[in-house]
Chain A
Amino acid sequence: MAGKTLYDKLWLSHLVEAREDGSALIYIDRQLIHEVTSPQAFEGLRLAGRQPWRRDANLAVPDHNVPTDSLERSGGVAAIADPVSRLQVQTLDENCADFDIVEFEINDVRQGIVHVVGPEQGATLPGMTVVCGDSHTSTHGALGALAHGIGTSEVEHALATQCLIQQKMKNMLVRIDGRLQTGVTAKDAVLAVIGEIGTAGGTGYAIEFGGEVVRNMSMEGRMTMCNMSIEAGARAGMVAVDDTTLDYVRGRPYAPRDDLWERAEVAWRELHSDDDAQFDRVVVLRGEEIKPQVTWGTSPEMVLPVDGVLPDPAAEENPTRRIAIERALQYMGLEAGSRITDIRPDRIFIGSCTNSRIEDLRAAAEVVKGRKIAPGIKQALVVPGSGEVKRQAEAEGLHTIFLEAGMEWREPGCSMCLAMNADKLGAGEHCASTSNRNFEGRQGFGGRTHLVSPAMAAAAAVAGHFVDVRAMQE
């Protein structure tokens, strides 16, 4: 019998009930809750007269709507200028109080983007099943967990039953061999993967990221890769547990200690695919061949190396794809045949659950240190992923580097990744963004997003146009 994949192991260890119709009841260890996708779930519990199955399995934090401007933020929830956003954050506070769920409130130093906070606090751990009403829940798979986004009905279901009804996914291994070049990051690697398999390439699969490049990657880098599994269509991405994982988890506030740590470590060491495990699909990339990536269109698969030239729809034979290229070029205000390095961003956004951890801020700071943002840049936002990331960055003096370069240093939250708060693009504006989605209107009505790594966003801020960051680092 063939061995098991990491996903197989996580699935089997959480299987409560396998049903004849092919569905299964899967136990959920941790649910993360934020203000946007939870109000209707709590309302559902109230209407049915239900209580959470296990209150200690849940952790809540407001992130999508919170202001990042220091002045507005300092007044707490009551000072949120947008009344609709304010009501949503207040509703989370009230629901957590009513149902006795632990919440890191708006100005708690532990507050931040839910997918930064979970691993940072040890609230998400190896071997867990983790869900959240947010598609980027795949991030937590970097710890060797089974983590995926769910809709609000399932948020309510997980609250009420501690389980989800699931169908088992297929297994995909994405292996990146060799090494990444200096200046090429996890973000570039995952964008290259999405460019390779397409935005629906992972639909129906759980992706395990492996290979020498991933083994040598920091936890922050692995989180960036797993975060964007969903942009390849896969609800869950994951990485096997190794010393890097254990070193990251040890000592976190909610991580086990002493004897429990010893026991946990024994169990966690098993969280890898067996040597003879069978994957339904294997995709292999060479690390050395990956260049810094920049998206040019309105889907994450519309991505090119920084020295690339925009595609000509006339050369595309598949009619669906030809129309998609034409429409994307039109929406983005770009011409076929022009160069990535000719694109001049109006704004820069460094943040989001993809790239707002300390390593990301260090990489951006290294590029802008001693430099100024280009005169054509209207705004360059740096938004740390959590209060803890902010504190660490300030202890290292990174905020001073950003401020001296002419960038803005903000309070933690989702911010311009999806523009639910005041941080947004104007119509027609281009943005070099470290976030995860370049969909039409994502960062603001008519806004034009180019997804890049933190170092590439910083380089574009300084140069005033996209540029190969490797040239600036020499």
Chain B
Amino acid sequence: MKSFKVIEGIAAPMDRANVDTDLIIPKQFLKSIKRSGFGPNLFDELRYLDEGEPGKDCSDRPLNPEFPLNLARYQGASILLARENFGCGSSREHAPWALEDYGFRCIIAPSYADIFYNNCFKNGILPVVLERDIVDRLFREMYDTEGYRLIVDLPGQFVATPSGEQFHFEVDAFRKHCLLEGLDDIGLTLQSAPAIRDYEQRWREQSPWLFDVIS
């Protein structure tokens, strides 16, 4: 996993509440058995005017001229500004894969759906939670300023605007540690293998009907 420390980049808008993971990456692209290459189909149904299919070359598809990510001013964006309950619905990790493959390393929103929030951390994406009023302000400043850039500092836990204003955010200590170091958490968990085996032995004695049944 890519580590995340400090990034500075262009912010782009996804200005609606309850953006679901079907909207982030539609189901037909979930047929892939790979974890890369989803970027061209990020927000497919909003981004293009035709229906996307796996394997279809996106470079000559008709673009929706009104969709922000298609505007020149947001090209190269690495920070996505979003609204409440971003990433609701399906647990598909293809959603953070698509965001990451497109080039987003950070999302800033007032709230996220639980499963999506968790999936981001597994893929080197930092989902920052800021209060609604602050997110509103960032949206306004971004709309008013072409080339609007933000700094997201994970060690310091703040977002900085071009005027130098800083907004603190909270992040769980374990997730922060893993993201800063780019750690594979399977390896970390396996360091607890003796504890898992001890638990498993006790649990097997207590609930033997849960073991060796499906074989």
Q: Give residues in A with beta carbon < 8 Å to B.
A: 16-17, 19, 21-23, 25, 27, 29-30, 36-37, 39-40, 43, 48, 50, 53-59, 64-65, 82, 84-85, 87-88, 91, 102, 123, 125, 127-128, 133-135, 148-154, 156-157, 160-163, 165, 167, 169, 199-200, 203-204, 230, 233, 235, 254-256, 260-261, 263-264, 267, 299, 320-321, 323-324, 327, 418-420, 427, 437, 439-442, 445-446
Let me know if A437 and B22 touch, CB within 8 A: yes
- Chain B residue at minimum C-beta to C-beta distance from A57: B214
A307 to B122, CA, bound (A): 45
Let me know if B91 and A125 touch, CB within 8 A: no
The answer to the question of B213 belonging to the interface, with a C-beta cut-off of 8 Å to chain A, is yes
4 tightest CB-CB pairs across the interface, nearest first?
A: A256-B209, A151-B93, A153-B122, A39-B33
A151-B119, A157-B189, A320-B84 as given contacts; A23 in contact with B174, CB under 8 Å: yes
Report the contact-size class of chain B (Cβ under 8 Å from the partner). Answer: 35 or more
Distance in Å: Cβ of B2 to nearest Cβ of chain A: 13
Let me know if A233 and B122 touch, CB within 8 A: no
- Chain B residue at minimum C-beta to C-beta distance from A84: B31
Q: Give residues in B with beta carbon < 8 Å to A.
A: 16-18, 20, 22-23, 26-28, 30-35, 45, 51, 54-55, 83-85, 88-93, 96, 111-115, 118-119, 122-123, 172-174, 177, 184-186, 189-190, 192-193, 195-196, 199-200, 203, 206-215
Q: Return 26 A-B CB contacts under 8 Å, by A number.
A: A21-B173, A25-B192, A40-B93, A58-B214, A59-B214, A91-B33, A133-B93, A135-B89, A135-B115, A151-B91, A152-B93, A153-B93, A160-B190, A161-B190, A163-B189, A200-B113, A233-B114, A235-B115, A261-B209, A267-B206, A299-B18, A323-B16, A327-B16, A440-B23, A440-B45, A441-B26
Question: What is the count of residue pairs linking A and B with beta-carbon distances less than 8 angstroms?
Answer: 204
- Chain B residue at minimum C-beta to C-beta distance from A17: B195
Could you say which residues of chain B place their CB within 8 Å of the CB of A29? 210
Could you say which residues of chain B place their CB within 8 Å of the CB of A153? 93, 119, 122-123
Let me know if A165 and B90 touch, CB within 8 A: no
A254 to B212, CA, bound (A): 10
- Chain B residue at minimum C-beta to C-beta distance from A149: B91
Contact of B210 among A21, A59, A84, A125 (CB under 8 A): A125
Could you say which residues of chain B place their CB within 8 Å of the CB of A418? 22, 27, 90
Contact of B31 among A17, A85, A263 (CB under 8 A): A85
Given contacts A16-B192, A48-B184, A199-B88, 4 further A-B contacts (CB under 8 A): A21-B172, A22-B172, A150-B115, A418-B27
Let me know if A162 and B31 touch, CB within 8 A: no
A203 to B32, CA, bound (A): 29
Could you say which residues of chain A place their CB within 8 Å of the CB of B92? 36-37, 151
Distance in Å: Cβ of A330 to nearest Cβ of chain B: 12
A261 to B209, CA, bound (A): 8
A56 to B210, CA, bound (A): 9
A333 to B96, CA, bound (A): 31
Let me know if B189 and A165 touch, CB within 8 A: yes
- Chain A residue at minimum C-beta to C-beta distance from B52: A445
A122 to B186, CA, bound (A): 29
Let me know if B23 and A203 touch, CB within 8 A: no
Could you say which residues of chain B place their CB within 8 Å of the CB of A91? 33
